[in-house]
Structure 1
Amino acid sequence: MTLSSISSTLSRRPGIRLGLLLAAPLTWLVLVYVVALAALLVTAFWTIDSFTNELERTFTLDNIREITGEALYRTVTLRTLGVALLVTLIDCAIALPVGFYMAKIASRRSRHLLVIAFLMPLWASYLVKALAWRSLLSHGGLLDWAGGLVGLGSPGFGFTAIVLTQAYIWLPYVILPVYAAYERVPDSLLDAAGDLGARPALTFRTVVLPLVVPGLVAGSIFSFSLTMGDYITVNIVGGANQMLGNLVYINSGSNLPLAAAIALIPIVVIMIYLALVRRTGALENL
Structure 2
Amino acid sequence: MTDPLADPVAGRVARPVAREVRMYALLAWTWIRAAAQYPVSLVLMVLATACITGLDAAAILLLFAHADRVAGFGAEEVLFLYGTSALSFALSDCVLGTADRLGQHVRDGTLDAMLVRPVSPLVQVAAEEFTPRRAGKLVPAGLVLLFVLPRLETDWTPGRIAMLPVMVAAGAAIFAGLWVMVGAAQFFLVESQGATKSVTYGGAFLTQYPPTMFARDLVRGVTFVVPLAFVNWQPALYVLDRPDPLGLPEAVRFASPAVAVAVCAAAAVTWRAGLRYYRSTGS
Considering the TM-score relative to the shorter chain, is it more than 0.5? no
Max radius of gyration: which structure?
1
TM-score, normalised to structure 2, is 0.29
TM-score, normalised to structure 1, is 0.29
